[in-house]
């Protein structure tokens, strides 16, 4: 696909993944409209797109039909990356999570169905709702057992997207993401990912906590994820399908902490018992089987975990003031 001059929408475009995707699309010559509620507590950061020539920035919820109606009607491709990602926040404020992750997505899909059902639609889903794995690596046939409110609502949102694909013929692909990291992620706290707060401690040369440490996880560098997202949009055979996206080989959290300190050359950590309230919703080990997506698109991650961490730390050492 040639992106030059193509009208594209990125919801959640002021956030971590969305803003990196926007930058890639602009580099490719796309006409990019960003729809973002601009909620700082959920990752929106104006600095992420500072100085870029967007076609339009619409400060609105994706369920706000009147505000986004015209933009939706013009889009050739829609990347739906809006959402609330904090698992603990979803447990403390379940109705807010319901509104942001489930109701807003259903309203959004209804609007797309009515005004632009032929648009290519890529939905940012999550591996979280698999729950504690029955086996590793986890493929797309693994049972669904959401461990928290956020997982339930994200699974419902994905289910809406795929229902609209089956029933209304919308050209939708859902990508179940694992731990994505890189420049522009939230590092002031652990609302987006635990790795964010670890990175903050490294650049501040302070100590962070590793809870447990034996859990194995896999990680995707954000540039590699953007490659995957653009390939999904450009591969018509992925329409109507759900795919896992993995990336770097898995390692334990203890190994990750040691690697981060080594790459960063500063900071430290201490191991602690998993807090009881978080252990109840933790999924334990997770490794994605993304063979189906690789076979469908030819995608291969290019960035090692060490190189990704190095590039991420370099970014924050130059821009920390905008993220703390």
Kindly report the CATH number assigned to the domain that includes residue 40: 3.40.50.720
Distance in angstroms (rounded) separating the CA atoms of residues 262 and 239? 42
| Per-residue model confidence (pLDDT) at position 324 | 92
Residue 153, domain extent: 7-182+219-247+287-302
**Domain assignment present for 204:** no
- pLDDT at residue 271 in the model: 94
In a domain, 323, yes or no: no
- Report pLDDT for 135: 97
In a domain, 139, yes or no: yes
Alpha carbon 224 to chain centroid, angstroms: 12
> Is residue 194 in a domain?
no
- Per the CB < 8 A criterion, the answer to whether 263 and 313 are in contact is yes
Q: Is 269 inside any structural domain? A: no
Q: Does 260 fall in a domain?
A: no
pLDDT of residue 321: 95
**Rounded alpha-carbon distances, angstroms, from residue 161 to 92, 109, 201:** 26, 7, 38
The pLDDT of residue 86 = 79
* Both tokens assigned to 66: 């009147």
Query: How many domains does one find in the chain?
Result: 1
- Tens digits of pLDDT across the chain (324 residues): 799 999 999 999 999 999 999 999 999 999 999 999 998 777 899 999 999 999 999 999 999 999 999 999 999 999 999 988 777 888 999 999 999 999 999 999 999 999 999 999 999 999 999 999 999 999 999 999 999 999 999 999 999 999 999 999 999 999 999 999 999 999 998 777 899 999 999 999 999 999 888 999 999 999 999 999 999 999 999 999 999 999 999 999 999 999 999 999 999 999 998 777 777 767 889 999 999 999 999 999 999 999 999 999 999 999 999 999
The pLDDT value given to residue 274: 76
CB atoms within 10 A of CB 156: 18
> Quick check: 242 and 162 in contact, CB under 8 A?
yes
Helix intervals (H) in the chain: 16-27, 65-74, 87-92, 94-98, 104-115, 149-168, 194-203, 222-234, 253-264, 276-279, 291-297, 305-319
Residue 316 belongs to a domain: no
In a domain, residue 104? The reply is yes
What pLDDT does 193 receive? 83
Q: What is the pTM (predicted TM-score) of this model?
A: 0.95
């Amino acid at each position: 696909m040639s992106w030059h001059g193509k009208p594209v929408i990125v919801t959640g475009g002021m956030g971590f993944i969305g803003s990196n995707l926007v930058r890639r699309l602009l580099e490719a010559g796309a006409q990019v409209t960003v729809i973002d509620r601009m909620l700082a507590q959920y990752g929106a950061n104006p600095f992420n797109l500072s100085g870029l020539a967007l076609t339009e920035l619409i400060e609105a919820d994706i369920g706000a039909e009147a505000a986004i109606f015209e933009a939706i009607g013009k889009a050739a491709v829609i990347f739906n990356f809006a959402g609330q990602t904090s698992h603990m926040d979803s447990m403390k404020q379940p109705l807010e999570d319901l509104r942001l992750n489930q109701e807003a997505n259903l309203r959004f899909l209804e609007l797309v169905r009515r005004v632009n059902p032929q648009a290519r639609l890529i939905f940012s889903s999550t591996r979280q709702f698999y729950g504690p794995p029955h086996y590793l690596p986890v493929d797309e046939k693994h049972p669904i057992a959401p461990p928290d409110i956020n997982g339930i609502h994200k699974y419902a949102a994905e289910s809406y997207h795929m229902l609209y694909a089956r029933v209304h013929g919308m050209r939708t692909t859902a990508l179940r993401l694992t731990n994505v990291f890189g420049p522009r992620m939230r590092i002031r706290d652990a609302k987006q990912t635990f790795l964010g707060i670890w990175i903050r401690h490294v650049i501040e040369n302070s100590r962070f906590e590793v809870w447990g440490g034996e859990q194995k996880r896999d990680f995707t560098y954000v540039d590699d994820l953007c490659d995957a997202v653009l390939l999904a949009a450009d591969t018509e055979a992925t329409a109507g399908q759900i795919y896992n996206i993995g990336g770097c080989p898995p390692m334990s959290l203890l190994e990750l902490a040691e690697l981060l300190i080594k790459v960063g050359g500063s900071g430290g950590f201490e191991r602690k018992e998993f807090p009881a309230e978080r252990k109840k919703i933790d999924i334990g080990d997770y490794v994605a089987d993304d063979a189906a997506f690789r076979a469908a698109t030819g995608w291969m991650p290019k960035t090692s975990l060490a190189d990704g961490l190095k590039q991420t730390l370099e970014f924050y050492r130059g821009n920390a003031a905008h993220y703390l």
